[in-house]
Structure 1
């Protein structure tokens, strides 16, 4: 009995209970109305995405929104940004330095924004990274000169919505860049790059079995847009015999390792 009383007192001390009491006693709202208002308030201020250490929720303009309308009138999207990726960022800092770590974070934040249907500005980046807009502009200049695609509001329409970092990573991988080179040049983690490549090869494998794009997306658990991009990359690659042969070898290595080992023992490959 005493434990129950203690629990009730603890509940009464929570911010939620304090809010409900204010709504009911101060504004004469019914208990049900107060609870509904509490739920809406929590959603507004806390959002519906759970944050981890190093992450931050931000509100960005939806990617589909055009220019010309006042910012307060355009649709917004709640975005979960990874400001600090922990050990991954610490290792990158030790190896490449402070400036390159910031540039890596810029690329990661922009990618996370587009993946969550948002679009960031250079001002958004400057605010969460605690640097000046001038610093962000300087980083952008360096990265774009290196051929890195940076999708921001104001630049999004010019590069075409069909292009993604994932497709660019696949192209660079097929051209011979190693994982370490891709990590440094794109700002994506090694595990993310490996996942993109595995999905690309999965699309290739499923398409060779005769499935259509919609079925490929369902089986590979990726969006139709990414499927179309990967298939386009594959179709272009097939026009170059050396690249097609390389992809075929990768496909056999990934999906048919047992058969490949047997062939090696027999001296076939």
Structure 2
């Protein structure tokens, strides 16, 4: 029911908060948080205000989507599980690739944040994912960094040294 209520609100252009869900389901906020964590562990994103707007201490939905991609999920699977469009997923992957390209060139997280206009939280999460999946997700990482580098070169007309 929790997922259904959240999805229905999202489909109608609204976002519920955990307190709303607790009231609708006549349960405690703690129960809602526990249930949402169980769904998150299964790769299911409940579209609440905190999840969609990256508010609070939870892992960013962008990071969850990138991790699914690095684990080998295809766009259609990610779209179904997270309720994000293919364009959004592509945008998150492009942002992730820029972060890792800049990191590999020796830029600090602060410099990367300024250059990419991403939050410190997202930069830290992306760098953590990169460290975790550098070996096991090497094929996917190579694929996205090579295509991002080419896109950048064609836009700038240079070698892509200055992201």
Structure 2: runs of 5 or more not aligned: 50-55, 154-163
Give TM-score, length-normalised by structure 2: 0.65
Alpha-carbon distance change, 188 to 221 in structure 1, aligned in 2, over 3 angstroms:
same
**Structure with the larger strand share:** 1
User: Matches of 1:188 and 1:122 in 2, distance apart?
Assistant: 23
Whether the 8 Å contact between 1:104 and 1:186 is mirrored in structure 2 is no
How much is the aligned-residue C-alpha RMSD, in angstroms? 3.8
2:88 corresponds, among 192, 215, 230, to: 192
Counterpart position of 1:206: 102
1:181 matched to 2:67? no
Q: CA deviation at 1:245?
A: 3.5
1:250 matched to 2:144? yes
Counterpart position of 1:109: 15
Taking the TM superposition and a 5 Å limit, the aligned residue runs for 1:13-162 are: 101-102=7-8, 105=11, 109=15, 120-123=17-20, 133-134=24-25, 144=39, 146-150=42-46, 161=57
1:218 matched to 2:114? yes
User: Matches of 2:63 and 2:92 in 1, distance apart?
Assistant: 9
Whether the 8 Å contact between 2:113 and 2:123 is mirrored in structure 1 is yes
Paired residue secondary structure (2:59): coil
Per-residue displacement from partner, 1:94-144 (whole Å, max 9, x unpaired)?
A: xxxx989527549x836xxxxxxxxx2242x59xxxxx813997xx67x82
Alpha-carbon distance change, 246 to 194 in structure 1, aligned in 2, over 3 angstroms:
closer
Structure 1: runs of 5 or more not aligned: 1-97, 111-119, 127-131, 154-159, 260-269
Paired residue secondary structure (1:252): helix
Alpha-carbon distance change, 101 to 163 in structure 1, aligned in 2, over 3 angstroms:
closer
Could you list the structure 1 runs, at least 4 aligned residues long, displaced by more than 4 angstroms after superposition: 98-101, 103-106, 149-153
Give TM-score, length-normalised by structure 1: 0.41
Q: CA deviation at 1:205?
A: 1.0
- Structure with higher Rg: it is 1
User: Matches of 1:181 and 1:169 in 2, distance apart?
Assistant: 10
